């Protein structure tokens, strides 16, 4: 049984997203039909719009969806109709990374998330009778309904029944990435200094997680003073404007060097400066979307002699459901107050929501498609 849905089609940088009537395919045995209640807007959606990532256009994007399960395929056990779920990235389940519970580094990430089709090549959505690129991060949740998979659906625990789905939606991408980078990838130790470069959703999540981990001091660096003020409310002990000799001020504050430098900017010069601030055994963690032509340069003696690490990080090394449940518990306990970052917009105002995010006015815009 096919399903009619309304979905926001992205045709590229020069056209606004357009909400159109589309049709979702029959469910495969390992798929779920989710009525989308809300979906966060993330930098990655806009990188695809701007053709910085190899996702074919036109496409239905959206990868921070939350909703209610309407139907499930014959092999699905992760959730049942009526369950509240959050959708995250998809993975293959059988490659060496998936076998090591590191699905963010799935060897088959592209066909499962970015090809515009299902991993087997079949379309999951049609528009005007022709296949439409969808299955983005295994969901394409800028829509009233989405087809998701056994491996990228996380059932919302009963303990979180009181948290609205519009708040839970963004937890499966940027928030997971920033918090996971601190708690899982870099495994930040209590008492060591940490600096976060770029105070967007990912950076703010890292700051909240650094407070959970007990890092000290926790330094936020950004060019936007309003965001720096919010970073201090969320856990940063110090906030430096990048234009105000942030590097010099960090050296002054932490003369022995940083235990951890976390870059969310992807800017070559920022990463190299962050590297130069590291203490012995220090780690620079990188999650920013970089220019594909960029190469990093660092001193070999300092690298080897100091036992320093340059760490590429995807999705905060999330293992999927277990880590998202951990973040929801932190949120319920008041340790991960990421609702401060969110502003909601009706689905129809998707282009206004994107503009609010890109201008920096809103840290995390979340679209609301319907009621729970």
Shortest Å distance, C-beta 157 to Zn ion: 22
Q: 19 or 95: whose CB is closer to Zn ion?
A: 95
In 3D space, the residue among 167, 211, 164 whose CA is nearest the CA of residue 366 turns out to be 167
In 3D space, the residue among 118, 137, 123, 113 whose CA is nearest the CA of residue 23 turns out to be 123
What are the φ and ψ backbone dihedral angles of 261, each rounded to 5 degrees?
A: -125, 125
Q: 211 or 364: whose CB is closer to Zn ion?
A: 364
Shortest Å distance, C-beta 338 to Zn ion: 14
Q: 88 or 237: whose CB is closer to Zn ion?
A: 88
Q: Is 91 in the site for Zn ion (CB under 5 A)?
A: yes
Q: Is 106 in the site for Zn ion (CB under 5 A)?
A: yes
Cβ-based neighbours of 260, under 8 Å, separated by 6 or more: 182, 186, 188, 192, 193, 194, 195, 215, 282, 283, 284, 285
Q: Which of 42, 171, 183, 254 binds Zn ion (CB under 5 A)?
A: 42
Segment contacting Zn ion by CB under 5 A, of 3-11, 167-175, 189-197, 336-344: 167-175
Q: 85 or 98: whose CB is closer to Zn ion?
A: 98
Q: Is 44 in the site for Zn ion (CB under 5 A)?
A: yes
Shortest Å distance, C-beta 203 to Zn ion: 14
Distance CA 332, CA 346 (A): 25
In 3D space, the residue among 336, 30, 60 whose CA is nearest the CA of residue 208 turns out to be 336
Q: 244 or 339: whose CB is closer to Zn ion?
A: 339
For residue 53, how many C-alpha atoms fall within 13 Å in the half-sphere facing its CB? 20
Q: Is 92 in the site for Zn ion (CB under 5 A)?
A: yes
For residue 169, how many C-alpha atoms fall within 13 Å in the half-sphere facing its CB? 35
Q: Which of 10, 154, 156, 173 binds Zn ion (CB under 5 A)?
A: 173
Shortest Å distance, C-beta 217 to Zn ion: 28
Shortest Å distance, C-beta 118 to Zn ion: 15
Q: 64 or 326: whose CB is closer to Zn ion?
A: 64
Name the residue number minimizing CB distance to Zn ion.
Answer: 42
Distance CA 333, CA 47 (A): 34
158 close to 183: Cβ distance less than 8 angstroms: no
Footprint of Zn ion (CB under 5 A): 42, 44, 91-92, 95, 98, 106, 173
């Amino acid at each position: 049984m096919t399903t009619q849905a309304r979905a926001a089609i992205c045709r590229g940088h020069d056209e606004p997203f357009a909400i159109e009537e589309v049709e979702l395919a029959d469910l495969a045995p390992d798929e779920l039909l989710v009525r989308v209640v809300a979906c966060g807007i993330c930098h990655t959606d806009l990188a695809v719009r701007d053709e910085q990532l190899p996702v074919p256009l036109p496409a239905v994007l959206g990868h921070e969806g939350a909703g209610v399960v309407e139907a499930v395929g014959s092999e699905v056990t992760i959730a049942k109709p009526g369950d509240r779920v959050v959708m995250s990235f998809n993975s293959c389940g059988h490659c060496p990374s998936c076998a090591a519970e590191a699905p963010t580094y799935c060897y088959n990430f592209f066909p499962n998330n970015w090809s515009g089709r299902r991993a087997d090549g079949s379309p999951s959505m049609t528009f005007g009778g022709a296949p439409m690129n969808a299955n983005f991060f295994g969901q394409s949740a800028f829509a009233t309904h989405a087809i998701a998979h056994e491996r990228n659906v996380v059932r919302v625990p009963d303990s979180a029944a009181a948290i609205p789905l519009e708040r839970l939606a963004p937890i499966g991408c940027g928030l997971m990435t920033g918090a996971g980078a601190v708690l899982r990838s870099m495994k930040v130790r209590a008492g060591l200094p940490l600096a976060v470069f770029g105070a967007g959703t990912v950076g703010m999540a890292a700051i909240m997680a650094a407070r959970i981990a007990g890092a000290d001091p926790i330094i936020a660096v950004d060019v936007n003073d309003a965001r720096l003020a919010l970073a201090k409310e969320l856990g940063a002990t110090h906030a430096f404007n990048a234009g105000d000799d942030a590097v010099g001020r960090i050296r002054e504050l932490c003369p022995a060097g940083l235990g951890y430098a976390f870059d969310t900017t992807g800017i070559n010069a920022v990463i190299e400066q962050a590297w130069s601030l590291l203490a012995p055994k220090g780690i620079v963690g990188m999650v920013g979307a970089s220019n594909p032509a960029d190469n990093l340069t660092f001193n070999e003696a300092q690298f080897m002699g100091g036992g320093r690490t340059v760490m590429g990080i995807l999705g905060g090394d999330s293992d999927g459901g277990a880590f998202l449940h951990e973040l929801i518990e932190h949120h319920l306990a008041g340790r991960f107050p990421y609702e401060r970052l969110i502003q909601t917009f009706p689905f129809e105002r998707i282009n206004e929501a994107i503009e609010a995010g890109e201008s920096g006015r809103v840290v995390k815009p979340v679209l609301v498609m319907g009621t729970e």
